[in-house]
Structure 1
Amino acid sequence: MKRSRILAIALLAFCWMSGEAQQKISIREKNIEPERLFQTIEQQSGYMIYCNLAEMDSLLLSVDMTESSPEEILKKAFEATDYKVSSYGDKYLFVLKDRELITELSEDYFDRRKTYSTTSDNYLLSPLEQKATSENKLYTIGDERSTDVPEKIQLTGIMTDFRTGEPIIGAVIYTEKTLIAATTDAFGFYSLQLPPGHHRLLIRGIGLKDTQRQVAIYNNGKLDIELEEEVYSLKEVIVTSERLARVQSTKLGVERIQIKDIKNIPTAFGEVDVIKVVMMLPGVKAVGEASSGFNVRGGSTDQNLILFNDGTIYNPTHLFGFFSAFNPDLVKEIELYKSSIPAKYGGRISSVLEINGREGNKKELTGQVSLGLLTSRATIEGPIGKKTSFILGGRTTYSDWILKKLPEKSGYNNGRAGFYDLNAIIDHKFSENDNLYLSGYYSHDRFNFDEDERYGYGNMNFSAKWRHIYNDKLTSTLTGGYDHYSYETETNETPTNAYRLDFGINQGFLKMDFTSYLTEKHTLDYGLSGILYVLNPGKYGPNADESLVILDKMQEEHALETAIYLADRWSITPEFSLDLGVRYSMFNAMGPRTYNLYDPTKLPDMSSIVDTKTVDGWKGFKTYHAPEFRLSARYAFRSDFSVKLGANTLQQYIHKLSNTTIMSPTDTWKLSDENIRPQKGLQVAAGIYKNFSDNTIETSIEGYYKTMKDYLDYRSGAQLIMNHHIETDVMSTEGKAYGVELMIKKTQGKLNGWISYAFSRTLLRQNDSRVEKPINNGDWYPADYDKPHEFKFAGNYKFTQRYSVSLNCDYSTGRPITLPTSKYQYAGGEFAYYSDRNQYRIPDFFRMDLAINIEPSHHLTLLTHSTISLGVYNLTGRKNAYSVYYVAENGKLKGYKMAIFGSPIPYISYNIKF
């Protein structure tokens, strides 16, 4: 027996030693990337190594060890860094920055009342505590022994980024069993109503690690959570997204894009362009290249409300549409509402594009510089004390050198073109319940092809926002600001004809928004807003002492637009939810003003004036008001499958005057008045949403039908600039748009991106009985931006953490045009006879773009991190027609096609962070 026992012990020892021997490996590497080192260890040992490779992209490691365990090798490799190596079980290793993985509970872990209980209303985790706390620990809020435990308890808090301290927008926190959920707002704030007891809370944030919290809650309290970047296995590169949010949200027709996704999409000259990425979404169209104006679901370019940190941007373009007006390094995310427009927004009838700027880094001073072929930009950010942070950014161009390289015979080699924009954002935390945000933006463009005629235009915005948390169930945001847009054109070709033309629009705004978390089923959003408009329609005057131009100044236009709104987010059951809202808007056109009244049985004309009115001071002389309704409904068959229905009615009191198909800096705006009615829009939409492969593939199909009334069209020969009676050159038109949009989006894995197809039509009609010869005899005709078929692909493939490739494909039907079909002789002259309005189309559009993104390795001691992007815009060199025009040559009309980018455009950009 004794011999058998000794033999058994020896056998066990041999097996243990054999098992240990299997884990001993040898590695000899110098200046190796962490990714390659991990792969080698995994292949030799069978271990699984977990890490965040994105943090290690600047590391080079050296190790020379024989017959050592994987853990020993990693500890040796990382001993000169701030990374810690931890093991868990027999086959798992974790490499984490500044900390070790906690794999054992402390001795007093289960003494919950002593360590983690609180009877106060707040339970706050410090960064160090939160990093070290296991997801499975229990956080007790309130006292279980209390005799006054409410039936419903409010849990609130703020989610922030662990690295920078910035609030996390759109993170979802929900219970595992009851599926009670809440989403963080623009300030990272959430409010969740729970029954008393134990709950497992699941938290998901875009681009951040999914996490959980175990809570035992017996009183209203606060739980602030810091989220970290995704920590993933080397076996799979994960790009996270909203996953279930698109399916479970009540809203439809809403697209949210993070700035990291925007920077992966190739654009002209390698310039990261927020607006161009928006145009890659289904349902968003552009009439052609080099245009930052866009059309959403059949709407015109002026029917989109574009907001940057609450300020209205009237012209989101630089260099006549070649670049958007937003510095991408200052942008946090963009959200496009094609349908389900929140009740707090109004003033446009097609869409709302909300662009949220980043807040400054609250932990450390950082910056970055980006160099491109045409532009450069720089950003610096950091904390000011413990409660304040800032971020400053600037962008400029040096594109004049390109014009200088043009041949002299082109006539453009003496031209100049350039722009710059500046941003400043400051946020200050007064207390746990009060935050102040300040944002400023300024942009300016100047452009001339010769020395005689010059253009300039720019935006200026300032906003201040105060966020206050009253209690667990009520928050408010007070926002005020000022918006300005202007342009000027001047010429000095001849001193006697030298002139300057100016246009400007100014608006001050103030709004108060409240959110009340009434019950677990009802969340109310309500508030009021006001906008004061001061519009300078035009000033035309001499630009030199010798000029004979006579000063002409149009009357200023003044108006006040106010609104109140109420919306209820109603969770009837876990499967069925409703968003109900009403907004009541009022518009008052005000003096001082002199205007004409016309015979209502005739179109406005100088011959049909029946009276002239004069209004003194800031008195109102015309009022428009109307309710606007919002409805969205969702039924979820499963957590990854839902159907939705929505409807919106909207009013628009300001109109863009333009006879071009693109957004131009010389476009002017006109306020509604006695003779110009507001535009009205109605949209009904429905959608089906289904996720596959563990929510890594999102699919959707949405259909919509839309009507528009009092959309402005122009009479033949209309004069839109310096027209004191513009109502005599415009006509009200009605429109309809309908379409279907399909989208497949892959959010995880080395390959991610989206592919979409949209079929849509946009038709207009003049049905005013006062018009003697309506366009196309009063029949429906295609709008200038009607493009029935559109196919778009935007994809990114990541070979490693440093190397990736991006590809775009964009196809669409050619836009409509009106062509001459024949000619005739009359009174000794030759005239062209034209087809019906927009009866023909230019050739179809197709473009493919390619980019290679490289993140070079850097030694650990270096303080900077750089990236390089190489690419080709218009890879196939297709000459896409921007327009078609005709020139008389030798007595014959010859047609020509103009292309903006008729050949491949290679580019390189360099970005450095410090």
Structure 2
Amino acid sequence: MVRKSIIASFVVIVLTCGNLLAQKIVVSVNDQPLNLVLSRLIKENNASISFNDSGLSHYRVTANSRFDSLEEAISFLINDLPLTYEMRGAVLVIFPKKSEKEQKKWTLSGRVIERGSAEPLPYSNLLVDNRGIVSDLMGNFSVSSETDSLFNIKISHLGYYIVDTLVAGSSQMNFELVPSSFGLSEVVIENSRVERSGQFGQKAGLIKLNHRIAGFLPGYGDNSVFNLLRLQPGILASGEQTSELIIWGSYEGHSKVVFDGFTIYGLKNFNDNISSFNPLMAKDIEVYKGGWDVTMGARVGGIVNISGKLGNINKTSFEFVANNMTLNALIEVPIAKKGSLILAFRHTYYDLYDPSDLSVLVKRNNDADTTNDADVVIKPDYKFRDLNVKYATRLGKNEDLFYVSFYGGVDNFSYHIDEIFRTSQLLKNTREENSQSGGSVFYGKRWSAVARSHFSFSYSSLRSKYFNDFKLVFPQISKVNQIEDKRTDNRLTEVSLKVDNSFSLGSRQTLETGAEIISNRVALVEDTFGVNYLNMQNKSPRLNMFAQDIIALGNRLSMKVGMRLIYSSLLKEVFFDPRLSMSYVVDEKWKINLAWGKYHQFITRSSVLDEQGNYKYLWTVCDNVEVPVLSADHYVAGTSFISSGFTFSMEAYLKNTDGLTRFIRSEVHDIQDIFYGKSRSYGVDVVLKQDVRSHSFWVSYSLSKTEELFTYFLNGKYRRAPQDQRHELKLAGSLNFDPFFFSADYVVGSGFPDFVYSQQTGSESTTYLKTYSRLDVSVVYQFLNRKLKGETGISILNVLNHQNFKLENFERIPAGQTSTINIYAEAIPFTPTLFLKIYL
């Protein structure tokens, strides 16, 4: 039976033929089974053919032709069939073509959102089948696989519980992450942990911050984000300024803060305890210290990118915060199920200031010796308020993100001094008026699972006015000496229209492209003693284009290669900014990062130095005539090790910056000219961090050096830059004994150089300002019940009451966007602060 079955299913016919070369092969059949046609060929031509008789019986052929050879005849008969043949010796063997399996591709696309509010979590970190990716602003991501329809996915976002799961490929899925600060009475997550250690070492020069823990650190609530920033390695804390961050030795105006896509220039505020944006609006914070990719530009120092909240689409929520300085309120209102409107407002109530904290030093001599300086206590008239309005919604079946964000703030500061000294009376009236506005419109379009585009328009404006009337009256001789009578009005605007695209070219390659039209306009008017000393305005329109390829070479090595082109219509010149970065995953705990790039900046804050040794900074356009375009090269190398709540990160950097400008105006030295310079910054940042259950402890150390060389230096040698500090050590700890939270931080800095006079003589100075030291502590109580939820706490700043100085005391670096000439404010003394936060 078996034998018959075998014979029936497969018949091999082998016949030996004579010489067929002289014969013609004739095939004349009409709709006949192929096996029968082949059998006839064997009989009629004495051919040797091997084939599966039953298999070929399913194919029917038609032919009426003469062929020169057997192979030609067979090729014609099976031409349109899934069959092929080959010669094995003298036998022609026919067999089925190898089944080429259709290459399948499974795609998983999804969105990372917050549980409860359904608010997207931008720039979340994902590990999908051992491949690292980052979600976009809307929390969207997409990955593909050619080997398996199941994806092992791990999602983390700072301040949220980690999700680790196995899912099947799908067109769109929502992954909900639970915030860690919900409170134990509201939610319990079993067998899960909070992502707290992932902010260091993901990319070269990048720090990602958990904004949720900022409110539990010591300090004023209105400055909570910058309290967190100042504790990070590479960001200068000694000097206590927030309106202009000094990142890896950068100069005034070389770094910028971006909120919702538009630039925040920062307002002038006394003691710098009010940040330039509302911390209640922050959702995601990224700090790029150097070596960032081609998608970002416009600065040579550093970039802080802050993504604002998109709002609660499920229910109305409200937050209210009161502290020693300001009232702050935020409300989120759902609109049409997919949208939300956010309103946030801050306002100072100055009456709670302690006038004794506002100590001002008035310089009476022209040297660095402060023994003759006078302490004058003033009570300034100070008002600050700002407003955020944001509407965000999801459009279409893909829930594409659309939002409109607006910001406006004003800051007025004035004071009067009337003091009698030994032989003179000092009269000083100073007023500063600052206003800033900004806004953006954003639309993110998801074309498919592998392609998306972001369209954005942004606008920002800063206007800084400075008025100063400074007199010395000598009653004994009836003489009035007018020291200064100055009016300055500096305006800066920026308008940008941008599109960027991302295309997934496979499971291991992504192409990113984009273009931007941007224009900056600067106007400066200065009157001195009633005479118009300066009146200038200029603008700098530019076209930016970029492209970069992100390639994963296996599961360990990834590269990002890009080029940014900038065409300046003012200069009629194209600038090229190539950039390269690499990451190598040694194992699941250890990672190595490298980055290099070239950067250009087309507006700058030029320094102006007067004969008293005072500095002020004014925004100007880089025209390559009087003010050169800033250029910089960044080199960054780092490594990180993360294991079981322990984090070690170390980064080394080198920054070379060219195109610095300094205007010196001195009648005594008969100098009134613009001088040019360059700088070099290099150093190492080290971070050690340990999470123990819900507690966190970290220490960071920065070893750095920033030097500058200007054309007016007579010895032609580099000297320490005014913001140069060799050592800075930061320690911080946070204890979570819910509902009580305890935290403390301690910052020690080695001090800054003081070149009050050597800058005009060219001689080196050996004067160094004393070390910086500040210890802060806080305790927060969190109350959660059905009717009322919130937090209350107390912070004590500068517990040891160490006498520190703010950076504007050092004549080269003012704290805000406008100048403060001859007035020197102390840093924060021993200061208790209280706050109350209520949210519904």
Which residue of 135, 160, 167 corresponds with 1:208?
A: 160
Which residue of 562, 586, 599 corresponds with 1:581?
A: 562
1:781 corresponds to which residue?
719
Which residue of 699, 716, 729 corresponds with 1:755?
A: 699
Which residue of 423, 435, 443 corresponds with 2:409?
A: 443
Letter in 1 for 2:194: T
Unmatched segments (≥5 aa) in structure 2: 1-99, 360-373, 418-428, 472-481, 812-821
1: CA distance, partners of 2:294 / 2:564: 6
- Tell me if the contact between 1:575 and 1:635 (Cα under 8 Å) persists in the aligned partners: yes
Letter in 1 for 2:109: T
* Cα distance, 1:406–1:645 mapped onto 2, change above 3 Å: closer
Which residue of 123, 126, 133 corresponds with 1:173?
A: 126
1:554 corresponds to which residue?
535
Q: Identify which range, 290-299 or 423-432, moves more after superposition.
A: 290-299
1: CA distance, partners of 2:823 / 2:727: 21
Matches within 5 A, 1:501-516: 501-516=488-503
Q: Identify which range, 220-229 or 521-530, moves more after superposition.
A: 220-229
Which residue of 261, 269, 278 corresponds with 2:213?
A: 261
Matches within 5 A, 1:786-801: 786-798=724-736, 800-801=737-738
- Give SS of 1:475's match: strand
Which residue of 80, 104, 109 corresponds with 1:151?
A: 104
1:421 corresponds to which residue?
386
Matches within 5 A, 1:125-524: 150-175=103-128, 178-195=129-146, 197-206=148-157, 207-217=159-169, 221-229=171-179, 240-241=194-195, 243=197, 246=200, 249=202, 251-267=203-219, 269=220, 271-286=222-237, 288-290=239-241, 292-315=243-266, 317-319=268-270, 321-402=272-353, 415-433=380-398, 434-450=400-416, 452-490=429-467, 500-524=487-511
- Give SS of 2:666's match: coil
Deviation at 1:320, TM superposition (A): 6.6
2: CA distance, partners of 1:532 / 1:629: 22
2:650 corresponds to which residue?
701
- Tell me if the contact between 2:218 and 2:743 (Cα under 8 Å) persists in the aligned partners: yes
- Tell me if the contact between 1:703 and 1:741 (Cα under 8 Å) persists in the aligned partners: yes
Deviation at 1:550, TM superposition (A): 5.2
* Cα distance, 1:779–1:835 mapped onto 2, change above 3 Å: closer
Deviation at 1:833, TM superposition (A): 10
Deviation at 1:260, TM superposition (A): 1.1
2: CA distance, partners of 1:312 / 1:665: 24
- Tell me if the contact between 1:400 and 1:416 (Cα under 8 Å) persists in the aligned partners: no
Which residue of 853, 864, 879 corresponds with 2:803?
A: 879
TM-score, normalised on structure 2? 0.75
- Give SS of 2:253's match: helix
Unmatched segments (≥5 aa) in structure 1: 1-146, 542-547, 590-621, 720-725, 769-773, 822-831, 887-895
1: CA distance, partners of 2:327 / 2:437: 20
- Tell me if the contact between 2:324 and 2:352 (Cα under 8 Å) persists in the aligned partners: no
Deviations 1:313-362 (A, max 9, x none): 22255337343211111111211111231211111111111011111111
Letter in 2 for 1:195: E
Matches within 5 A, 1:4-23: none
1: CA distance, partners of 2:212 / 2:679: 37
- Tell me if the contact between 2:445 and 2:452 (Cα under 8 Å) persists in the aligned partners: yes
* Cα distance, 1:404–1:845 mapped onto 2, change above 3 Å: closer
Q: How many aligned positions are there?
A: 682
- Give SS of 1:272's match: helix
1: CA distance, partners of 2:406 / 2:308: 11
Greater radius of gyration (CA): 2
1: CA distance, partners of 2:271 / 2:488: 18
2: CA distance, partners of 1:245 / 1:553: 46
Letter in 2 for 1:880: N
Letter in 2 for 1:420: R
Matches within 5 A, 1:534-683: 534-538=521-525, 540=527, 549=530, 554-589=535-570, 622-659=571-608, 667-673=617-623, 674-683=625-634
- Tell me if the contact between 1:882 and 1:897 (Cα under 8 Å) persists in the aligned partners: no
RMSD: 3.4
Deviation at 1:370, TM superposition (A): 0.6
1: CA distance, partners of 2:657 / 2:574: 17
1:525 aligns with 2:515: no
* Cα distance, 1:780–1:213 mapped onto 2, change above 3 Å: same
TM-score, normalised on structure 1? 0.69
- Tell me if the contact between 2:544 and 2:567 (Cα under 8 Å) persists in the aligned partners: yes
- Tell me if the contact between 1:270 and 1:869 (Cα under 8 Å) persists in the aligned partners: no
2: CA distance, partners of 1:748 / 1:880: 33
1: CA distance, partners of 2:248 / 2:729: 15
- Tell me if the contact between 2:108 and 2:142 (Cα under 8 Å) persists in the aligned partners: yes
- Give SS of 1:841's match: coil
- Tell me if the contact between 1:781 and 1:838 (Cα under 8 Å) persists in the aligned partners: no
* Cα distance, 1:732–1:511 mapped onto 2, change above 3 Å: same
2:792 corresponds to which residue?
868
Deviation at 1:797, TM superposition (A): 0.8
2:837 corresponds to which residue?
911
Letter in 1 for 2:332: E
1:132 corresponds to which residue?
none
1: CA distance, partners of 2:138 / 2:160: 17
- Give SS of 2:213's match: helix
- Give SS of 1:391's match: strand
1:817 corresponds to which residue?
754
Deviation at 1:533, TM superposition (A): 1.9
- Give SS of 1:197's match: coil
1:729 aligns with 2:673: yes
Letter in 2 for 1:462: G
Deviations 1:512-545 (A, max 9, x none): 010111111111111011212222122649xxxx
- Give SS of 1:450's match: strand
1:710 aligns with 2:659: yes
2: CA distance, partners of 1:291 / 1:464: 26
- Tell me if the contact between 2:291 and 2:597 (Cα under 8 Å) persists in the aligned partners: yes
2: CA distance, partners of 1:538 / 1:487: 11
Matches within 5 A, 1:686-697: 686-692=637-643, 694=644, 696-697=645-646
- Identity within the alignment, %: 20
Letter in 2 for 1:222: Q
* Cα distance, 1:898–1:388 mapped onto 2, change above 3 Å: closer
- Give SS of 2:130's match: coil
Letter in 1 for 2:430: E
Deviation at 1:489, TM superposition (A): 2.8
* Cα distance, 1:480–1:748 mapped onto 2, change above 3 Å: farther
Deviation at 1:493, TM superposition (A): 9.0
- Tell me if the contact between 2:205 and 2:290 (Cα under 8 Å) persists in the aligned partners: yes
2: CA distance, partners of 1:876 / 1:423: 37
2: CA distance, partners of 1:389 / 1:588: 40
- Give SS of 1:675's match: coil
- Give SS of 2:226's match: helix
2:774 corresponds to which residue?
847
Deviations 1:773-824 (A, max 9, x none): x4150111000011011101122111x2110111011011110012679xxx
Deviation at 1:312, TM superposition (A): 1.0
2: CA distance, partners of 1:397 / 1:222: 46
* Cα distance, 1:817–1:181 mapped onto 2, change above 3 Å: closer
- Tell me if the contact between 1:317 and 1:323 (Cα under 8 Å) persists in the aligned partners: no
Deviation at 1:261, TM superposition (A): 1.9
